[in-house]
Each structure stands twice: as C-alpha cells, then as structure tokens.
Amino acid sequence: MQETVRRVCAWWGRSTPPHLLLIANPCSGKGRSLSLLNSCLLPALQDAAGFKVTVHKTAGPAHATELLAGADLAGVDMVLLLGGDGTVFEGLQGLMCRPDWEAACKVPFAHLPGGSGNGLAASCGLWDAPTAAVSVVKGHTAPLDITSVVQPSTGRRYYSFLSLVFGLFANLDIGTEHQRWLGDARYTLKGLQQAAAVPVHPMRVAYLSVEPLLPQTNSTEAAASTAGAGDVHAALLTQHSESSDRAGRRGGGGIGGGAPPLKSAAPPGSGTCGGGEGAGGDGLACGPPLPLLAAWRAGEAAATAVGGADASSGSAAAVP
C-alpha cells in the first residue's frame, strides 16, 4: 500500500506538504480505530506521502464537536474524521456552529471508516481505511450538500450529511446507545424488539410543491427545456437556496429560517399528510455544499476527495 501511496502522491501539485487535521475516536469500531490509525493511516499519510498530520483523540461524547468548533483551521488543508458516522456527525456540528462556518466549509472534510457504522464512507465507495488513505493522497474534490433539522423540544438545529430518520430507524440508533458493546448485533436485537412492540409515532409532514419553484425567466426556462434532469434539478435547488438565503441566518454559525412551527398551518404552496406533530425541515438546499471525500471504482483503489470544486449548483457532484 505504501508503494501505491508514493506512486500517486504529488502533494496536490504543491511544493510543500499538505497539513491534515485528523480527529480520531478511540472507541469507534470496538476500539479498532486506533489500530487503523497506527498501522495503516499514519504510515501511509505521514511516512509514505510525507503529509503533515496533526492528530487529536476524542475523550468522550460530543468531544469531536468541541474540537472542530474551536480548532484553528488556518493552514489546514483537510479535516479527517476517523470513526463511524456518529463521529462524523459530531464533527459536522462543530464545523457548522463556528462563527466562520462559511470559510470552514471550504476546507475538505473526509470520513476515514473506522466505526461500526460507516455509511458515509461506504456511500462514497471508501470501504476500508487503505482506500480512504489513497483518496486523501490523491486530493481531488467535489461538493456535497448537507441539510438541517430543528428539534422542536429544544429549538436546537442539527446538521445532517447522510439521512434524517424518524420512528423505527431513529429508535434503532438512539435506543441502542447503551448497547454499543454488542457491535452491529445491537441493531438486529432492537429491530426485533420494535417489530414485536409495534410502537406508533404520530407525525405531520409538510412538503413544498414543485410549481412555486419552477423557473420564471426565459433563460432558465430555455435551459430547463434543453438540459438533462440533473441540470433542471440544480436550477431549482439554486433558486430555492437563494430565496432561503434572503430569509436570513440565525446564530453565530448556523443556517436558519424557512421551517414553520410544528403547530402552525402548512406554508402556501405546500401539502400536508398525517395527523401528528412530527418534525419540521428546511425544504431543499440549506446552505453551501460541504466538502467531503468521494470515490470512484476503477481498476485501482483510487478515489476522490470531496471539497471546494464548482459548487454553484448547490447539488452533489458525481466524480467520474
């Protein structure tokens, strides 16, 4: 592997080695993340590639949030999070609550799979730590959208990079935090319990209709009539993102506005279903694309980082 790293490494076309900020969760993956760090990642990134790597280890829940919220990102070329999806989630919250969150989002942000659940890395084709290490070394970037949701009970805004779940799947995750020692088996056991209990979760869903978002200008209409589906979708996302920006932002570093109170009527142009209160969201795009690591499968285990490429469309970019 180190020979592969040496072969593809060019310091991203620079004359000085890139500086990586690596936040590692020593408890992820039943403790195997530190083994990956010492046996695979540091030898590849430091020894073979010659990168400068600053390592911080989390000491407990939400520590990754604290570390990234207060980190000095000046001179940092990429943020790496070693652990599972929970570690990446914590890091994302820290990144987005920063007063300089807009500038912080321009720093490439990568998931090194080392937890029991590595959905983000897997969705990018990064099935293991060696593949992720080669991806970091190659350093290609592409944008990725994030979304946000407000918890009505606390008014706190959370940011999501993979999915938002309600009911059964939320219970599988949150309801088994105390059973992490079981590994993946905790999800199976909780799933069987939920299937037997058949819990009911009342909710109300509001959704935006497509018609109010349709482009009005002749140039956009012409582009939509001749472009592919992805281009039309990008135009809608861009238009909605601009209207959301005009609605304003709240907090020192969060993106706010757009979500109606749960007890209020649905906004004009939207539809509703369900009888409960449920959860409210922010519609489509809620802010600038977050840099992330992506990968493509070719003859070699080469991948693509994800970061500040052309993000004007506000939609995820596929990497060829």
Amino acid sitting at position 13: G
CA 189 to chain centre: 27
Contact 83, 118 (CB under 8 A): no
Contacts of 106 (CB under 8 A, 6+ apart): 291, 307, 308
C-beta separation of 244 from 257 below 8 A = yes
Catalytic residue (one of 77, 85, 145, 282): 85
**Buried b vs exposed e over 119-136: b needs ≥16 C-beta within 10 Å?**
bbbbebbbebbbbbbbbb
Alpha-carbon span 238 to 203, nearest angstrom: 29
- Residue pair 121/112 in contact (Cβ under 8 Å)? The answer is yes
**Helices 218-226 and 229-246 meet at what angle, rounded to 10?**
150
Looking only at the bridges linking them, the beta strands covering 52-57 and 19-24 are parallel
Q: Is 85 a catalytic residue?
A: yes
**Dihedrals phi, psi of 137, to nearest 5 degrees:** -65, -40
Structure tokens belonging to residue 72: 């000095």
Closest among 130, 142, 141, 109 to 49, alpha carbons compared: 130
Instruction: Answer yes or no: are the C-beta atoms of 115 and 130 closer than 8 Å.
Output: no
CA distance 216 to 220: 7
Q: Which residues are catalytic?
A: 85
